[in-house]
């Protein structure tokens, strides 16, 4: 990325469906650190549009997009939670940023917004995620925001070459 680019974080909307699918396809081809295949998300824009509308109305689910001043989506942050009263307080976090924007603080901005949203939600009281141990940038980001390692999952993921990769289960309690 050359020069400063203005980025806005906002909640994903139904109108973002096609651009979001394109972003997920690009992310899936750039890194094997996220759990997407090279095709990305196998959804139609119409179907995703309906899902985004439902997501906007959910009190314990969130999908943020990072958008440039040109209208390009360059990153996402999500919190996915269940509706079951016994587990609806647990949000699974996912963050993905286009490689061109790595190292510029966008992951920190996204995670900071996720934590703020969780604190304000009055529902989410635990954020958790899994991260490949070899993804040192992501591990450092999560630790910077007080996520703690709870355990190691042997063979928790596979690399593109078919080899197994261990992952950490990390969490942060929201009080």
Give residue 38's pLDDT: 43
- Write the pLDDT tens digit of every residue in 11-48: 999 999 999 999 998 998 888 888 654 444 577 888 88
Residue 1 above 60 pLDDT? no
Q: What is the pTM of this model?
A: 0.91
pLDDT grade for 7, boundaries at 50, 70 and 90:
very high
Alpha-carbon distance of 113 to 167, in angstroms, equals 24
Q: What would the two tokens of residue 47 be?
A: 């179907």
Collapsed DSSP state (helix, strand, coil) of residue 67 = strand
What's the chain's Rg over C-alpha atoms? 16
């Amino acid at each position: 990325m050359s020069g400063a680019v203005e980025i806005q974080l906002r909640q994903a909307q139904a109108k973002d469906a096609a651009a979001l699918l394109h972003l997920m396809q690009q992310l899936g081809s750039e890194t094997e650190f996220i759990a997407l295949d090279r095709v990305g998300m196998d959804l139609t824009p119409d179907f995703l549009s309906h899902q985004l509308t439902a997501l906007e109305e959910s009190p314990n689910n969130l999908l943020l997009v990072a958008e440039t001043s040109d209208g390009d989506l360059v990153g996402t942050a999500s919190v996915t939670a269940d509706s079951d009263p016994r587990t609806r307080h647990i949000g699974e976090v996912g963050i993905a940023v286009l490689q061109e924007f790595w190292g510029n603080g966008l992951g920190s901005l996204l995670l900071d917004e996720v934590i703020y949203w969780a604190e304000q939600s009055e529902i989410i009281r635990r954020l958790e995620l899994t991260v490949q141990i070899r993804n040192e940038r992501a591990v450092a980001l999560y630790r910077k925001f007080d996520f703690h390692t709870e355990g190691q999952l042997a063979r928790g993921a596979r690399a593109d070459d078919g080899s197994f990769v261990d992952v950490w289960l990390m969490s942060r309690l929201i009080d």
